[in-house]
Amino acid sequence: MIDIGQSVILGVVEGLTEFLPVSSTGHLKITEGLLGIPVDDQSVVGFTAVIQVGAIAAVLVYFFRDIARFAGAWGRGLVNAEARQEHDYKFSWWVIFATIPIVVAGLLFQSLVKGPLASLWVVAASLIGGSVVMGLADRLGTGKRTEGDVTLPDAMLVGASQILALLFPGFSRSGATISTGLLRGLDRVAATRLSFFLSIPALTGAGLYELKDALGGNLDVVPLVVGTVVSFAVAYGAIAWLLKFVAGHTFTAFVVYRVIVGVALLGLLGTGVLHG
């Protein structure tokens, strides 16, 4: 159903939008619609979930030193009481705890996510609604707290916010997590980095869970591999760019872009160019 050319396009879209606060799910659904690919086909849903693993691999490579530091602190804390006081040890557990809400929600609301909510109308509304939330968070956030100030409540609230993106494709997982981090007073870099770290277990789990649908459907393995590799390469560049961008800019450009895309999508749906 998805050929190599289409897999390259979808891989580029996934890599560019997975970590930018513009909604990878929304952009993938729009792109699939424009390419004539049925967005509600379960094998297609599986395909898009699996190529996310390429983007996650990019996070693992880009943040390898940080991840190794967290893993080392976690390992030391398991056998040393004094090491358990280290922030990195606590942070490692917080990432695990903060992933639980999205896992539970994914299991409970699977039928909704793959059914009524898998609509381009929902994507359009979520793009616009999510932009309002991000705009407010960018303005109201104090930005006085750094990554070293992150607490368990911060991690839990940011992790739970991923449910918004699960239920409303177009809201954006990174948009929801970064906005929540900003509202908790984190600076833009700290909120963005926390969003990256929380993406690792959440998106890896989703990709592995959907693998059976991707491989069990009428999809060829070659396009799946191509899409994943392209996603990795593009996502790596997007991560590096985003971290440099947020260090000196607000999220206004993303807010405006989301509104434009959302309104344009409503127009395409309303005129029948795309079907929701």
Q: Which residues of 86-107 are buried (b: 16+ CB within 10 A; e: fewer)?
A: bebbbbbebbeebbebbbebbe
The pLDDT of residue 43 is: 74
Report the C-alpha gap between 20 and 13 in whole angstroms: 11
Beta bridge partners of 186: 145
Lookup: tokens for 79: 């056998």
Lookup: tokens for 206: 């989703």
Name the nearest CA neighbour of 263 among 168, 170, 133.
170
Q: State the Cα angle at 98 between 72 and 17, rounded to 5°.
A: 95
- pLDDT by 10-residue block (mean), the chain, 276 residues: 91 95 88 83 77 90 96 95 94 95 90 79 94 96 94 96 92 95 97 94 79 65 92 97 95 96 93 82
- Cβ-contact 177, 134 below 8 angstroms: no
The pLDDT of residue 95 is: 95
- Cβ-contact 85, 76 below 8 angstroms: no
The pLDDT of residue 235 is: 97
The pLDDT of residue 251 is: 96
Residue the block writes with tokens 């509600």: 40
The pLDDT of residue 162 is: 95
**Assign residue 217 a region: left if phi > 0, alpha if psi is -120 to 50, beta otherwise?**
beta
